[in-house]
Amino acid sequence: MKLPIFMDYHSTTPVDPRVLEEMIPYFTNDFGNAASRNHAFGWKAEEAVEHSRERIASLINCDPKEIIFTSGATESNNLALKGVAEMYAEKGDHIITCVTEHKAILDTCKRLEKLGKRVTYMAVDHYGQINLDDLRKEITDKTILISIMFANNEVGTLQHVHEIGKIAKEKGVLFHSDAVQAVGKIPVDVQAMNVDLMSLTAHKLYGPKGIGALYVRKKGPRVRLVAQMDGGGHERGMRSGTLNVPGMVGFGKACEIAQQVMPEESKRLAGLRDKLRFGIEKELDEVYLNGHPTERLPNNLNMSFAYVEGESLLMGMDDIAVSSGSACTSATLEPSYVLKALGVGEDLAHTSIRFGLGRFNTEEEVDYVMNKVISNVKRLREMSPLYEMAKEGIDLKKVQWSATTE
Amino acid sequence: MAYTDKVIEHYKNPRNVGSMDKADPNVGTGIVGAPECGDVMKLQIKINEQSGVIEDAKFKTFGCGSAIASSSLVTEWVKGKTIDEALKIKNTEIVEELSLPPIKIHCSVLAEDAIKAAITDYKKKKA
């Protein structure tokens, strides 16, 4: 077993060797500009790009022409929200999203608010899901877009995308979903789910960084966007810029592999994830699962270890790469806004750890991580005044904590 | 975030972890911070009544590595000092000793507060 162990697959993934192999010729021999229509170098590049588009389309069940390549999900989210807001300005000015979205959605919405649009940020329940009746009530005749993520990047909770799509269609409102964590991990079908726009990225599914896509529905309804990047009119005029051919080739191959291995891989990862969870729960008291117990990504585990601060726990596991919702690991000194939205108290948010399992994790690694978590939590609890007080029967919620002089 | 070697050393081998009897008249207990803020330090000192010297110190800390290191360090520093000497320990000295980055300065402030709180508790008992 090689150390350190990477178990932070929600942040990014390594490029699958099969993906890299297919990309390499497009850096050197087949380096053409896909927009060069009059020679063989350009034709070869264009052919590769179109083949990739087909592979991506196949994974989410859409037409290849509906795939618009971007630099990644942040750009896709920006393009979807700003592009729709600008294009449909005459129809309305209202967008509905939710509080646990990625910053690429939330900050884009804030920008749109500054530009005079109205945004509703829906609350979520303690699993991280929006209420569908509330969603219906929020929709007005000025609503042009609903943007709700497929799966949350911190707690792995799946939204009821199928039902949201139905509601959006019934009300004649466009539906965008940031699906970066879901695509390649669980079945995603834009037809069956009535999704009109969807953000994807390659580096979360064993493809390269710097390449993503926005799915834009062409029929029923035909979605139109105002491009946010002006130039040569690439990508059906929606995203100008010379095509990143090797990246697109890698993205396509990664999608093809994901489609082939998904049923088996998701089962294997869910098995390892559950082994990790139940193994930890067997040895430690006062451990809490964050997110939904079943409606979650197969590779996600997010737990709070009461009385043990997350960053100090990470520090004790310096040969394991996981992440924490603790404030100390963020630049803002605020604990995770996602956990807060789920109603996880700030005290427990500081103690949370996110495990993201992936293709290259082994059972041996899971055992190692499990034992390391257990021994470190035990050690740090021995050092924790809160654990001691709790064991003495003191209700920590009733303690009058001193404010620091700071 | 990269930690300095001194922080890592204290985190891995914390000095004087433990608890003393809160009810002991010669023990002063200071608990500072709050769970919502991600840091709680408990510092206990045992004072020799005759000499006024801190004979022993113990801590327990809920917090990041820098918070654990700061409290571990002050238990070493206060031992052998009189109350008045211990009160002179400044958070900036902790920052300097552990090379704490600006974002971790609050850990040192908390450790200084813990010393003061423990001494205040002791003085209250003796009053």
Look up the CATH number of the domain holding residue B108.
3.90.1010.10
Strand order in the sheet with A352-356: A287-289, A300-305, A352-356, A323-324
Per the CB < 8 Å rule, is B63 touching A312? Answer: yes
Q: Region A264-287: what's the mean pLDDT? A: 98
List the beta bridge partners of residue B45. B28, B57
B interface test, pick of A308, A318, A405 with most B CB neighbours within 10 Å: A405
Report the distance separating Cα B69 and Cα B64, nearest Å. Answer: 9
Q: What is the pLDDT of residue A327?
A: 64
Give the pLDDT score at B38.
87
Any chain B CB within 8 A of the CB of A192? no
Tell me the per-residue pLDDT of A329-346, one tens digit each, with 9 for 90 and over: 566 667 899 999 999 998
Question: Diameter of chain A by CA atoms?
Answer: 80
Residue listed under structure tokens 């964590």: A181
Q: Does residue A116 sit at the B interface (CB-CB below 8 Å)?
A: no
Catalytic residue among B18, B19, B21, B37: B37
How many Å lie between the alpha carbon of B117 and the closest alpha carbon of chain A?
10
Verify whether the Cβ–Cβ distance B60 to A388 is below 8 Å: yes
Q: pLDDT at position B17, please?
A: 97
Binary contact (B41, A385; C-beta < 8 A): yes
What is the model's pLDDT at position B1? 59
- Which burial class, exposed, middle or buried, applies to A39 when counting CB atoms under 10 A from its CB (0-12, 13-18, 19+)? exposed
What average pLDDT does this structure show over A70-85? 98
Residue tagged active-site, from B100, B107, B111, B114: B107
Contact across the interface for B40 and A401, Cβ inside 8 Å: yes
Task: Tell me the CATH class for A262-390.
Answer: alpha beta
pLDDT above 90: percentage of residues in chain A? 93
Q: Does A402 touch chain B (CB under 8 A)?
A: yes
Among A65-69, A367-371, B37-41, which stretch is predicted with the lowest mean pLDDT?
B37-41
* B63–A315 C-beta distance less than 8 A: no
Confidence tier at A46 by pLDDT (50, 70, 90): very high
Domain of residue B112: give its range.
5-126
Q: What angle do CA A268, A271, A276 make, to 5 degrees?
A: 130
Q: Give the per-residue pLDDT at A328.
A: 64
- Cβ of B64 within 8 Å of Cβ of A333? The answer is no
Decide if B37 and A329 are in contact by the 8 Å CB cutoff.
no
Task: Name which of A383, A394, A395, A399 to mutate to probe chain B: the one with the most chain B Cβ atoms within 10 A of its Cβ.
Answer: A383
**Chain-chain contact of B33 with A404 (C-beta, under 8 angstroms):** yes
**B-chain residues near A326 (CB < 8 A):** 38, 64
Which pLDDT band, with edges at 50, 70 and 90, does A405 fall under? very low
SS3 B125: helix
Model-level pTM greater than 0.90? yes
Q: In this predicted structure, what is the pLDDT of residue A331?
A: 61
Q: Measuring CA to CA, which residue among B19, B7, B39 is closest to residue A308? A: B39
- CB distance A151 to A205 below 8 Å: no
Mean pLDDT to the nearest integer, A282-306 = 97
Average pLDDT estimate for A21-30: 98
Q: Report helix, strand or coil for A138.
A: helix
CB B80, CB B57: distance < 8 Å: no
Q: Specify the pLDDT at position A346.
A: 87
CB proximity A333 to B under 8 Å:
yes
Contact B111, B73 (CB under 8 A): yes
Instruction: Please confirm, yes or no, whether B64 is among the known catalytic residues.
Output: no
CA nearest to A304, candidates A160, A69, A77, A126: A126
What is the spatial distance between Cα A236 and Cα A240, in angstroms, rounded to a whole number?
9
Task: Quick: pLDDT tens for B83-94.
Answer: 999 999 999 999
Chain B neighbours among A 349-368 (CB < 8 Å)? 350
Q: What's chain B's length in residues?
A: 127
State the average pLDDT over residues A279-298. 98
pLDDT in tens, A159-206: 999 999 999 999 999 999 999 999 999 999 999 999 999 999 999 999
**B33/A contact by beta carbon, under 8 A:** yes
According to the model, what pLDDT value does residue A144 have?
98
User: What pLDDT score does A406 carry?
Assistant: 40
Span A380-404, pLDDT tens digits: 999 999 999 999 999 998 888 875 4
pLDDT digits (tens, 9 = 90+) for A206-253: 999 999 999 999 999 999 999 999 999 999 999 999 999 999 999 999
Q: How many CB atoms lie within 10 A of CB A333?
A: 12
With contact defined as beta carbons under 8 Å apart, do B119 and B28 qualify? yes
Phi, psi angle pair for B60, to nearest 5°:
-140, 135
Question: Domain residue spans in chain A?
Answer: 17-258, 262-390
Find tokens 């697959």 and name the residue: A9
Using CB atoms, pick whichever of B8, B14, B34 lies closest to residue A401.
B34
Q: What is the mean pLDDT of residues A68-88?
A: 98
Predicted local distance difference test score (pLDDT) of residue A398: 86
The CATH class of A17-258 is alpha beta
Q: Is A328 a catalytic residue?
A: yes
Mean of all residue pLDDT scores within chain A: 96
* Residue B53 Cα, gap to closest chain A Cα (Å): 25
Among the partner-chain residues B33, B60, B113, the one whose CB lies closest to the CB of A383 is B60
Residue B3 pLDDT level (bands cut at 50, 70, 90)? confident
Q: State whether A350 and B38 contact (CB < 8 Å).
A: yes
Residue in chain B lying closest to A401 (CA): B34
Average pLDDT over residues A300-309: 96
